[in-house]
Amino acid sequence: MQVFDMIINGKPVRAGSTFDVVNPATGEVFARVQAGDASHVDQAVAAARAAFPGWSRTPDAERKRLMHALGAALEAHMPELMELVTKEAGKPLGGLNGVGSGMEVGGAIAWTHVTADLELPVEVIQDNDDARIEVHRKPLGVVGSITPWNWPLMIAIWHVIPALRAGNTVVIKPSGMTPTATIRFVELANAILPPGVLNIVTGESGVGSAIAKHPDINKIVFTGSTPTGKNIMQNAAGNLKRLTLELGGNDAGIVLPDVDPKAIAPKLFGVGFHNNGQTCACLKRLYVHDSIYEKVCAELARIAKETVVGDGLVEGTELGPVQNKAQLDFVQELVEDARAHGARILSGGKARSGGGFFFEPTVIADAKDGMRVVDEEQFGPVLPVIRYSDIEEVIARANNNENGLGGSIWSKDHAKAAELALRLECGTAWVNEHGAVQPDAPFGGVKQSGLGVEFGRYGLEEYTSIQTLKIMKA
Ligand code: NAD
């Protein structure tokens, strides 16, 4: 059994007790991780604070070089990291449409290199005979990062790399359910970075709230559920920490009547079901025009029945297990609620017997707004399909949700679709696509899906504060 240590100030640290990490494909423990507590958060923050002056004054070119070295280290350990991600998160090595741990580690590498090359240039606002005014971007200090279980390594990279690139030091706490790939990354990074620049404390929500409350942390970047995000916001108020919150989504997609149901169904299925629907910006509510409704539903159900569900370590698996038993039970509850309220379960609808937390890909027809499976984020392999006939009405229904992460319009008429997409209340709107993110385009939620953005220059700037410098010449 592999036992993973925390890393504080460049050294492995044990807590005296450990907790188990379960492989959701088998339901069995495959690793043990240190059960850290608030005292380890204190140690890690002290180390990060001590490392901050040196790291923030490191020449920019050197920081950039070290960020690229982190990308190279991820690449050199890709098979090992992929296996850890598959074992802890359940996602296949390959996966549906190539969305699996190979994509997760590959994405982590790509994000690292692209973010390494981002710049924070000084902006000159005024330069005349009277004065010169410059706007500088300065690092904030110590950043606390708290990550979820669905894309554990990728999201750790999304937090850590821009924070370090901008000159901050970091204390990260991964989800207790999926900590191993992140710990391994932090180990690899500590062979490259000065001690204390990147620290990891493992544990459950107590460690998370100790980070959120800590008086010597300057910013929290959090990805996870909306209720936890609100709790972090309250706890962060003590010293007015800066916040980036990437929270839950319940993304709507609207299919216009001009599409070919057969051609579009595989795309819709991919964006709804990849990673078992356990992606913040998966398609979670699908509105289809009445004229093609039955055809789209039938195609989606056919694909669902053909999808290969199994252990992610086995080649050819398209969807793995749901990541944990509580999530599996929640998904089952939503499906039963839909069934009880008159929805038609066209495929799946139940967990698989035997080991592991497997749930059959489930397409639900005659789903309606007001059903739990539509109103709540399922975060599982379940897609409710909702009928509409009036475009104005469906835009209003899509927007009638407290979440606002992503949304999409599907049509052959790109101009009309783009016009409608801009009316969706969400941080990213796609046309003929859903959930696709890239390291140079900002991504974040509106309404209760979050605060701030990640990626690209806009994301990098969130790890800085502005200092205005005015030089009088007269
Ligand atoms: P979660 O909120 O339960 O946990 C996330 C992290 O917060 C874990 O590390 C957990 O230990 C920690 N935590 C729990 N309670 C805490 C507290 N009181 N204070 C501080 N930390 C605490 O979320 P989850 O179930 O791991 O992840 C699933 C959710 O994440 C979904 O809602 C999903 O939509 C969302 N998500 C959002 C994005 C995005 O970019 N918007 C990306 C991925 C996932």
Confidence of residue 391 (pLDDT cuts 50, 70, 90): very high
Phi, psi angles (nearest 5°) of residue 122: -75, 135
State mean pLDDT over 278-304. 98
Is 246 a known active-site residue?
yes
Confidence of residue 370 (pLDDT cuts 50, 70, 90): very high
State mean pLDDT over 252-267. 98
Token pair listed for 237: 């108020």
- DSSP assignment of 56-106 equals HHS-HHHHHHHHHHHHHHHHHTHHHHHHHHHHHH---SS-GGG-SHHHHHH
379 Cβ closer than 6 Å to some ligand 1 atom:
yes
Confidence of residue 151 (pLDDT cuts 50, 70, 90): very high
State mean pLDDT over 183-202. 98
52 Cβ closer than 6 Å to some ligand 1 atom:
no
Gap between the Cα atoms of 235 and 230, Å rounded? 9
208 Cβ closer than 6 Å to some ligand 1 atom:
yes
Residue-level pLDDT at 474: 83
224 Cβ closer than 6 Å to some ligand 1 atom:
yes
Q: What is the percentage of the chain residues whose pLDDT exceeds 90?
A: 99
158 Cβ closer than 6 Å to some ligand 1 atom:
no
Index of the ligand 1 atom closest to the CA of residue 148: 26
Does the pLDDT value for residue 354 go beyond 90? no
Taking only the tens place, the pLDDT of each residue in 76-114 is 999 999 999 999 999 999 999 999 999 999 999 999 999
Using alpha carbons only, what angle is made at residue 305 by residues 303 and 311, rounded to the nearest 5 degrees?
105
146 Cβ closer than 6 Å to some ligand 1 atom:
yes
25 C-alpha vs ligand 1 centroid, how far in Å? Answer: 21
465 Cβ closer than 6 Å to some ligand 1 atom:
no
- DSSP assignment of 34-46 equals E---HHHHHHHHH
Q: Name the one residue in this structure whose structure tokens are 């297990």.
A: 321
Token pair listed for 460: 């990098």
Token pair listed for 24: 């959701």
Residue-level pLDDT at 159: 98
Report the candidate in 80, 4, 22, 104 with the shortest Cα–Cα distance to residue 323.
22
106 C-alpha vs ligand 1 centroid, how far in Å? Answer: 23
Please give the domain boundaries of the chain with CATH numbers for all domains: 2-247+449-472 (3.40.605.10), 251-438 (3.40.309.10)
Cα 415 to Cα 268, 323, 397, 410, distances in angstroms: 20, 39, 22, 11
Nearest residue (by CA) to ligand 1, atom 39, is 246
CA 423 to chain CA centroid, nearest Å = 24
Residue-level pLDDT at 62: 98
Q: What is the percentage of the chain residues whose pLDDT exceeds 70?
A: 100
Residue-level pLDDT at 1: 86
Residue-level pLDDT at 147: 98
Gap between the Cα atoms of 238 and 339, Å rounded? 46
Gap between the Cα atoms of 106 and 114, Å rounded? 12
Q: Name the one residue in this structure whose structure tokens are 């699996």.
A: 100
Is 473 in contact with 134 (CB distance < 8 Å)? no
- CA torsion 173-178-184-186 (nearest 10°) is -20
Token pair listed for 14: 């044990």
State mean pLDDT over 274-284. 96
148 C-alpha vs ligand 1 centroid, how far in Å? Answer: 4
Gap between the Cα atoms of 172 and 255, Å rounded? 40
Nearest residue (by CA) to ligand 1, atom 15, is 205
Residue-level pLDDT at 27: 96
Phi, psi angles (nearest 5°) of residue 446: -110, 180
Residue-level pLDDT at 366: 98
Residue-level pLDDT at 205: 85
Does the pLDDT value for residue 414 go beyond 90? yes
224 C-alpha vs ligand 1 centroid, how far in Å? Answer: 2
Does the pLDDT value for residue 338 go beyond 90? yes
Query: pLDDT averaged over the chain?
Result: 97
Residue-level pLDDT at 204: 84
191 C-alpha vs ligand 1 centroid, how far in Å? Answer: 29
State mean pLDDT over 160-181. 98
Gap between the Cα atoms of 406 and 426, Å rounded? 5
Nearest residue (by CA) to ligand 1, atom 38, is 280
Question: How many residues comprise the chain?
Answer: 474
Taking only the tens place, the pLDDT of each residue in 28-76 is 999 999 999 999 999 999 999 999 999 999 999 999 999 999 999 999 9
427 Cβ closer than 6 Å to some ligand 1 atom:
no
249 Cβ closer than 6 Å to some ligand 1 atom:
yes
- Ligand 1 pocket mutation pick from 19, 150, 200 by most atoms within 8 angstroms of CB: 150
Nearest residue (by CA) to ligand 1, atom 16, is 205
Does the pLDDT value for residue 459 go beyond 90? yes
Report the candidate in 173, 161, 162, 170 with the shortest Cα–Cα distance to residue 228.
173
Is 312 in contact with 323 (CB distance < 8 Å)? no
Catalytic residue chosen out of the listed positions 246, 318, 360, 461: 246
Taking only the tens place, the pLDDT of each residue in 316-332 is 999 999 999 999 999 99
Give the largest CA-CA distance in the chain. 80
Structure pTM? Answer: 0.97
